[in-house]
Amino acid sequence: MSSRDVVICSFYTPDEYYGNHAKELGSQLTNLGIAHELLQVEKKPGEDWADVTRKKIGFIRDICHKHPDKMVFWIDVDCRISHLPDYISNSTADLIGFQRSFGSPLQIGYAQRTRFWEPSFWGINTTPQARKLIEDAYALEQRATLKATDDYFLEEAWRANARNLTFQMIPTTEILRERAVLETGQRPPFFSFGSSGNVAEFKNKVVQHGSKKTQSTRGKLLAKAKQLEGLLPGGLRNSLRRIADTTGVTSALTKDKVKGLDPVRGRLLGKIVYEAKHGHIASTDQLKKEFSAKYLPTYLEQSTIEAADSFAHYASKDSHKIPLMWWVYPYPGNFGDWLSPLVVSHYSKSGIIHQAPTDPSIKKHIVGLGSIGRFIRGNSVVLGTGISSDDLNLHPRADYISLRGPHSAKALQSAGGKLIDAHGDPGLILSEIIPVQRGKTNGKVAFVRHFSHSAIPVKLPAHMDELSVMMSNPRDIETFVKTLNQYDSVITSAMHVMIVCQSYGIPCGLVTFKGFEENVHGTGIKYEDYALGAGVAVMNPQAIELDLTKANLDNLTRDIKVPEEKKQQVIGHVRQAVARFEK
């Protein structure tokens, strides 16, 4: 089956929201060369959104009648596809789609979901069994007097015909999610999900199928806490955040757990990470062997084991330990966040153990590079830390050696703290830690995304190679920076990749992607904060289209290098921080 054997259909009401989406969807499908039919439907007097959606069943049936030899796909008009993968357009299954709520195969079953299929994108093949499903759904929709949406009738037809149907589930990794990490070997996602807000409005007003799944108590509390926080004035909000952070409330509500295929796997992986964080090499290795002898690790499980190896590398260095605060997720680690233990460890004889930003801290610890100023405690030793938003205040009584820049320093003063004029992100000294002689380059451009941009469907020109930031082990970081130095220039959406380029003197462009500007947390203040603190020209991210083959890369790139004097100042800051723990 080729794209000529596929037709994608949708309908829309003539209001501004759906009408504009219909134009965009039609234009996109035309550019992709995919046959499509988009129908404008009128909402009659007395009808609401639920009444309109159930008409979808009859519309899809009509398209099936019109195209008996084509596989018919429905897509919600506010959703998008970047392409249609061959395994979908060439599917021989009677029915193909995403599982309800875009669940994975490990969550299959009605105990997990109210219904089996996600109604925003699904396809019906040309087989008699497939066409019977849509005929049955239509027949029920025509005679039913209950208040229900289209997915109710699809579900009923599915349950009635499932024994005779072949079906294919589209992997959940095909969905473009914000801040999602692209797994090794994963196909680039093709589908992005839209939401008009009507689903939530009608959730309790239409007939639903039953489910045993309920939101966890912790999830409910976290959602309520976020809602209440947003209603508070800035000063009170910051005070309550600090109380929540220091007492462990934030940790209790947001704490990540290792997600294995079942609790047994998860517990074993948790033990591996625990032993590694405390530098217990022998027990870590033994637990890893135990896991390897029993299981074939998933991407997430393998990433967790790689992060454990990195924890163990730093924690086992010496019997004397320095607690250091940095972000460790998502596993195996994000390059920028894991520069913190690399930098501190290089200038210390001690082992480095992880202090989670959201966990309560009894012991004195270093807060290193990153936008984690919110989590500074009264017993923190602060080393080049910054803020991501100017509505955050820093703890006024911590031991401040340096801050990332003057904006972070101003936030400290606003909270009643002293003036700190020692500035500089510790990441800018990486060229002093891993010396690389930059010689003849390869004539290409390196493209490096922030991890939250990794699943965005970007098109690269032939002379551009993509490198990943997903790493934590110092060996991988060394290989990464040596590789960067082989390129003529670098285009990146990750701030610490830019900082490292400026440390080595690699021409670099800082970008974000149109439509995905909010993926990276914060207001953008951190870019200027870094530059002013490092003594270099300010470079804010430029929003670019997803097709980089049409971008003028020369206009994006600037040749900026951190002054040697600033590097030596920051090295001095690191030595001061370490000296607080080592005699």
CATH number at residue 70: 3.90.550.10
* 249 found inside a domain: no
CB 539, CB 498: distance < 8 Å: yes
CB 557, CB 509: distance < 8 Å: yes
- What count of other Cβ atoms lies within 10 Å of the Cβ of residue 571? 19
**Helix 495-504 × helix 525-534 angle, to 10°:** 20
* 325 found inside a domain: no
Calpha distance 558→527 (Å, rounded): 15
Per-residue pLDDT at 203: 45
* 276 found inside a domain: no
Q: Is the pLDDT of residue 20 over 80?
A: yes
DSSP run (H or E) holding 238: helix 234-247
* 236 found inside a domain: no
Of 489, 490, 485, 500, the C-alpha closest to 336 is: 500
Calpha distance 469→450 (Å, rounded): 7
Calpha distance 539→526 (Å, rounded): 11
Which tens digit of pLDDT belongs to each residue from 82-114? Answer: 899 999 999 999 999 999 877 777 677 666 667
∠ CA 284-286-289, nearest 5°, is 110
* 449 found inside a domain: yes
455 or 230, greater pLDDT: 455
Of 408, 315, 318, 396, the C-alpha closest to 369 is: 408
Per-residue pLDDT at 261: 45
Residue 508's domain is classified under what CATH number? 3.40.50
Of 260, 266, 253, the C-alpha closest to 224 is: 253
| Beta-carbon contacts of residue 529 (< 8 Å; ≥ 6 apart) | 386, 387, 404, 405, 406, 407, 408
Which tens digit of pLDDT belongs to each residue from 306-324? Answer: 999 999 999 999 889 999 9
Calpha distance 230→252 (Å, rounded): 19
Q: Report the chain's terminal Cα–Cα distance, integer Å.
A: 72
Domain boundary among 170, 186, 201: 201
Q: Is the pLDDT of residue 220 over 60?
A: no
Q: Is the pLDDT of residue 253 over 50?
A: no
* 76 found inside a domain: yes
Query: In this prediction, what percent of the chain has a pLDDT beyond 90?
Result: 67
> Global pTM?
0.79
Label residues 53-89 b or e (16+ Cβ within 10 Å = b). Answer: bbbbbbbbbbbbeebeebbbbbbbbbbbbbebbeebb
Domain boundary among 171, 201, 231: 201
CB 437, CB 486: distance < 8 Å: no
Which tens digit of pLDDT belongs to each residue from 553-571? Answer: 889 999 999 999 999 999 9
* 572 found inside a domain: no
Query: What token pair was written down for 564?
Result: 């040697």
Per-residue pLDDT at 146: 87
Residue whose entry in the numeric block shows the structure tokens 């217990």: 280
Per-residue pLDDT at 217: 54
Question: What confidence category does residue 199 fall into, taking pLDDT thresholds of 50, 70 and 90?
Answer: very low
Q: Say how many domains are in the chain.
A: 2
Query: What token pair was written down for 408?
Result: 């972070």
Write down the mean pLDDT value for the chain: 87
∠ CA 420-388-362, nearest 5°, is 65
* 222 found inside a domain: no
| 51-55, 223-227, 326-330 — most confident range | 326-330
Q: Is the pLDDT of residue 390 over 50?
A: yes
Amino acid at 214: T
Domain boundary among 147, 171, 201: 201
Host domain of residue 81? 3-201
Q: Average the pLDDT over 43-60 and give the result.
A: 88
∠ CA 478-482-486, nearest 5°, is 165
Calpha distance 72→360 (Å, rounded): 55
Per-residue pLDDT at 229: 53
CB 515, CB 178: distance < 8 Å: no
| Beta-carbon contacts of residue 168 (< 8 Å; ≥ 6 apart) | 91, 93, 95, 96
Q: Is the pLDDT of residue 212 over 70?
A: no
Which tens digit of pLDDT belongs to each residue from 260-305? Answer: 446 788 899 999 999 999 999 999 999 999 999 988 888 889 999 9
